[in-house]
């Protein structure tokens, strides 16, 4: 585990040297302790290690008493939308974004999907994660899996006027990203 993987706007590092399941658990516990979060939405990208890192994060969040809504494979914007839509206390996306294979990370937001960066609490979460061990809460949080994208799709459709669109022929290549599912 390496505190250097906490950047100005997110957490990123090589897996497992800098970022691993142990750090993800500690980030989960620290997030709840620092933010007082009761409900946290968690999503992940399609990198091979993302499921195990997300599950470790969820274990950390629930061990401190937070309930988790696991939305599964998604784009980062879905975590932001879901955090607002479900009025969660925070959201965490497990992703290394544009970084190459071998890297992973996390993007954190608070209520109303307000970004958590170095100047708004990310380093306080880092300090808790690397500080004294955070004891479990008296209540273990619950996990609910909810990958239903209907509300997100309805929201996206409010951004366009489908009547104004002319008929289109669309070719899509989702590549190796989460756009496929």
This prediction's pTM: 0.94
Q: What is the pLDDT of residue 119?
A: 94
How many Cβ atoms from other residues are within 10 Å of residue 149's Cβ?
17
Share of the chain above pLDDT 70, in %: 97
97 is catalytic: yes
Record the tokens describing residue 140, joined without a space. 């273990």
Phi, psi of 109, deg, nearest 5: -135, 155
The residues, any chain, with a CB within 8 Å of residue 75's CB and separated by 6 or more, are: 43, 178, 179
Catalytic-labelled residue, pool 50, 52, 97, 117: 97
170 has a pLDDT exceeding 80: yes
Residue ranges in 44-114 assigned as alpha helix (H): 50-63, 76-85
**Model confidence pLDDT, tens digit, residues 128-149:** 999 976 676 889 999 999 999 9
Task: Evaluate whether 106 touches 93 at the Cβ level (below 8 Å).
Answer: yes
Three-state SS for 181?
A: coil
**Model confidence pLDDT, tens digit, residues 45-97:** 999 999 999 999 999 999 999 999 999 999 999 999 999 999 999 999 999 88
Three-state SS for 146?
A: coil
């Amino acid at each position: 585990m390496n505190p250097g993987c906490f950047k100005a706007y997110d957490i990123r590092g090589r897996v497992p040297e800098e970022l691993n399941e142990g750090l993800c658990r500690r980030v989960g516990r620290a997030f709840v302790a620092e933010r007082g979060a009761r409900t946290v939405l968690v999503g992940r990208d399609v990198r091979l290690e993302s499921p195990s890192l997300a599950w470790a994060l969820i274990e950390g969040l629930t061990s401190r008493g937070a309930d988790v809504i696991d939305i599964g494979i998604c784009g980062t914007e879905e975590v932001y939308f879901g955090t607002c839509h479900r009025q969660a206390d925070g959201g965490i996306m497990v992703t290394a974004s544009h970084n190459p294979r071998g890297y992973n990370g996390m993007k954190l937001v608070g209520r109303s999907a307000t970004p958590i960066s170095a100047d708004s609490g990310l380093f306080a979460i880092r300090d808790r994660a690397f500080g004294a061990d955070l004891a479990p809460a008296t209540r273990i949080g619950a996990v609910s899996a909810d990958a239903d994208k209907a509300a997100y799709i309805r929201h996206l459709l409010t951004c366009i006027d489908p009547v104004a669109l002319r008929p289109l022929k669309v070719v899509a290549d989702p590549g190796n990203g989460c756009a496929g599912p």
